[in-house]
Amino acid sequence: MAVRASILLLFLLSLGCRGTDPEPGSSPTGEPWFRDVTAASGIDFRHVHGGSGRKYMVETMGAGACFLDYDGDRFWDLYFVNSGRLPGSDLSGRTGDALYRNRGDGTFEDVTRAAGLGSESYGQGCSVGDFDNDGDPDLYVTNYGPNQMFRNNGDGSFTEITAAAGVGDSLWGVSSTWLDYDADGYLDLYVANYVDFSLERNLYCGEHRKGYRAYCSPKNFRGQPDVLYRNNGDGTFEDVTRAAGVWNPGGKGLGVVAADYDDDGDVDLYVANDLTPNFLYRNNGDGTFEDATFSSGTGFGEEGKPQAGMGTDFGDFDGDGHPDLVVTNLSEENNSLYRNLGDGTFEDLSFSAGIGMESVLFVGFGADFLDFDNDGDLDLFIANGHIIDNIEMYSDNLRYAEEDFLWENIGGGSFSRVPVDRVPCFFEPRVGRGTATGDYDNDGDLDIVVTNSNQEARIYQNLAGRGNHWIEILAVGTRSNRDALGAVIWLTAAGVVQRKEVRGASSYASQNDRRVHLGLGPASRVDRLEIRWPSGIREYWESLQADRILEIREGTGTTVPPETNPRAGPRPSVP
């Protein structure tokens, strides 16, 4: 019976995952909802970790990827972070990061060298933000070792300005995100640092038998403080970690996301930590944060213990207007889903919502809320892959390469995992790490990019969203930061209100397409679109045609009368 099941699974995979097939595959119940187009797209990036059997902890963590429109042609390009050489490795040839330009016809070309990129540092993650408000997205790369900043020159090339900008933190950085935490119109930068691991002090972990040496647990190493850089507005940054109240040497940060979870008009921070309590920092609106981890209930798993947080994302999955939270964790734990109750506290719905039990035997990394089928509610994608490459020697039911999860929102606060006949590509076992979502082909639905540790990255084209309507918003700040990061968008269509935010990086060491994507289901028009800009201005637009990508500039809409606190207000005035 097991053999027959395996043959059926391979048959389904052969139909739905042929990356060179220009036509969608088929399955017993119809066309798959995603197809692997990696080969056809021209993306040939392979992550290398430089391992040589010495089990350096850094080599198992993988790396991320970022969507960015570096050349301003409105087709989103892709930047992949690579890791590279370690003592004892015999790697030869190119091992650096890579930038792929989107040609606009479904294919990409490698422009790394022409763009002046291709760092050979031991890379971990990336984030994208227009820190100088010149209209071109700049790039920050986290490394095991000094991080790097690359300024976009506006001519298709980048210049490294790390030293001049003062952002070359030398701790083990993994994830970072841009945000305007003080609402001064300039993007600031938060860097999540991991543990105090040294190549020179590489502990032996695992059994002392041939082949049984394993990567060490983070419990063997001290944590490291994260870093918050304030943008001075002149091309330089100031380390304000302590002054802003977010310095904590006990954290072991892997994922970070910024969002206004309490809807008070300023952006807050959440950090996923590995086997130490996660951090939720509430923005006080005066340049400082308060630690709301314990009062909010988001620092621990359902049993009240710290979990091995990897990736994280905010999203209003239940449609009540409050951003909820997902955190991926280690096997024999579970992925955590926290419902925002709107009063500063969260409720752990991991098991009742349907994502907890099935994740217990998997190690989750990248995580993204997305409306993949354009029906107006948020679904969930999680990339899986264990951190112990010989885990099969230690366990009968755990595997190093794992399948990924696509969870469909079925309403009522619940998710249902999409089965293999609909997404056969996601059932191919890989060592998943970073995930990024974006509409790379500009057809109105969100595609998915996954990086895999010491393996090829994959790009999955969305075929599921074509039956419903949609709209995508590219918000451009004028008084606010130009990327409009931190802007809150309320959309009303056919009596349904959706809340989304313009955000920087999230997931695990990765960043999505900056455009705000909203599925509309059967609604062919948007009745009202309201934006609360980071500057505090609130504007609205009415009667917008669906199935379009709209660039909306701050100051071009109808102004909502100011409130007592012009930067506050939980919901729009819906007609």
The per-residue pLDDT for range 448-459, each reduced to its tens digit, is 999 999 999 999
Check residue 29 and report its DSSP letter: T
Whole-number pLDDT of residue 574? 35
Contact 447, 455 (CB under 8 A): no
Beta strand 548-553 pairing with 469-476: parallel
The per-residue pLDDT for range 100-120, each reduced to its tens digit, is 999 999 999 999 999 999 999
Q: What angle do CA 280, 414, 411 make, to 5 degrees?
A: 115
Check residue 467 and report its DSSP letter: G
Residue 535 neighbours by CB under 8 Å, 6+ apart: 183, 185, 477, 479, 480, 554
Residue whose C-alpha is closest to residue 357's, from 320, 308, 407: 407
The per-residue pLDDT for range 437-451, each reduced to its tens digit, is 999 999 999 999 999
pTM, 2 dp: 0.93
Whole-number pLDDT of residue 563? 60
> Distance (Å, rounded) from C-alpha 447 to C-alpha 466?
12
Neighbours of 5 (CB within 10 A): 9
Check residue 19 and report its DSSP letter: T
> Distance (Å, rounded) from C-alpha 111 to C-alpha 118?
10
Residue whose C-alpha is closest to residue 127's, from 550, 400, 508: 508
Residue whose C-alpha is closest to residue 10's, from 425, 397, 385: 425
Whether the pLDDT of residue 566 is over 50: the answer is no
Q: What is the largest CA-CA distance in the chain?
A: 71
Q: Which residue has the tokens 């918000």?
A: 475
Tokens of 488: 């809150």
Whether the pLDDT of residue 470 is over 80: the answer is yes
Residue 12 burial class via C-beta count within 10 angstroms: exposed 0-12, middle 13-18, buried 19 and up: buried
The per-residue pLDDT for range 352-377, each reduced to its tens digit, is 999 999 999 999 999 999 999 999 99
Neighbours of 384 (CB within 10 A): 28
Beta strand 138-143 pairing with 123-129: antiparallel
Neighbours of 286 (CB within 10 A): 9
Query: Rg for the chain (alpha carbons), in Å?
Result: 22
